[in-house]
Chain A
Amino acid sequence: EDQVTQSPEALRLQEGESSSLNCSYTVSGLRGLFWYRQDPGKGPEFLFTLYSAGEEKEKERLKATLTKKESFLHITAPKPEDSATYLCAVQAGTGGFKTIFGAGTRLFVKA
């Protein structure tokens, strides 16, 4: 069964304290892995799409990487405004068109 697991469930950081969020997946034929940021009561905001192992993408303080089994979202020197829920989602060839979301990691950054 296709599955996406995010860890940790929640992460509390001090401002400037770099860390990583993990998204592990078990799917057959990965076709795309997506990272979104979601603020409370708002729609998910697209961050990155990764397609193949070894791929990396960066945007401001965020960097996403992909291996054959997992993806990491690295946050460098986070600020309080980075506090949000970060969602990982995958699409796989055997899953038809369905996008499988992880449960998310809630990030809290304290000033």
Chain B
Amino acid sequence: DTEVTQTPKHLVMGMTNKKSLKCEQHMGHRAMYWYKQKAKKPPELMFVYSYEKLSINESVPSRFSPECPNSSLLNLHLHALQPEDSALYLCASSQDQAVGETQYFGPGTRLLVL
């Protein structure tokens, strides 16, 4: 089973709202990722967690706050977003953070910021 689940599937929020995206995997993977994808563009890496610790932050604005409560769960907390943050947010996981490990993606959360 190579399933990564994400909730919600769609989210509409105002610029003053606080919301969270959730990602879950039960493959025993120890690395989890958040990507942002704009229409007709490839995914852009935002954060990497390895063994529940943040290992990479690709200079993402502080209005995005990741959290890894345990080895199966990954959250992305959103606050005071801008309309340009509207995108497909993808979660992925891999066995660990070793180079060459295959990343498996979830279905994504389509976010619209009004």
Contact among A87, A91, A93, A97 with B42 in the assembled complex (CB-CB below 8 Å): A87
* Interface contact B45-A99, CB-CB below 8 Å: yes
Given contact pairs A44-B105, A46-B102, A93-B99, A103 touches B110 in the complex (Cβ within 8 A): no
* Interface contact A44-B102, CB-CB below 8 Å: no
A78 interface residue per 8 A CB criterion: no
Nearest residue (CB) in B for A98 is B45
A34 interface residue per 8 A CB criterion: yes
**What class of interface size applies to chain B in its complex with A?**
20 to 34
B56 interface residue per 8 A CB criterion: yes
- Inter-chain CA distance A99–B45, complex, in Å, is 8
The B80-114 residues at the A interface (CB cut-off 8 A) are: 88, 90, 92, 97, 99-108, 110
* Interface contact B43-A44, CB-CB below 8 Å: yes
- Number of A residues contacting the other chain (C-beta, 8 Å)? 25
Q: Chain B residues near A45 (CB, 8 Å)?
A: 105
Q: Chain B residues near A34 (CB, 8 Å)?
A: 102-103
- Inter-chain CA distance A63–B40, complex, in Å, is 24
Residue-wise interface mask of A (26-59) relative to B, using a CB-CB cutoff of 8 A (1 in contact, 0 not): 0000011010100001111110010100000000
B48 interface residue per 8 A CB criterion: yes
* Interface contact B48-A46, CB-CB below 8 Å: no
The smallest beta-carbon distance between B25 and chain A, in angstroms, is 12
Q: Chain A residues near B106 (CB, 8 Å)?
A: 43
Residue-wise interface mask of A (78-111) relative to B, using a CB-CB cutoff of 8 A (1 in contact, 0 not): 0000000001010111001111011110000000
Q: Which of A32, A41, A43, A104 has the most CB of B within 10 A?
A: A43
Interface pairs (18), CB distance under 8 Å: A34-B103, A42-B107, A43-B6, A43-B90, A43-B107, A44-B43, A44-B90, A49-B100, A49-B102, A51-B100, A87-B42, A91-B99, A91-B100, A97-B99, A98-B45, A99-B45, A99-B103, A103-B41
Footprint of A on B, CB under 8 Å? 2, 4, 6, 40-43, 45, 48, 55-56, 88, 90, 92, 97, 99-108, 110
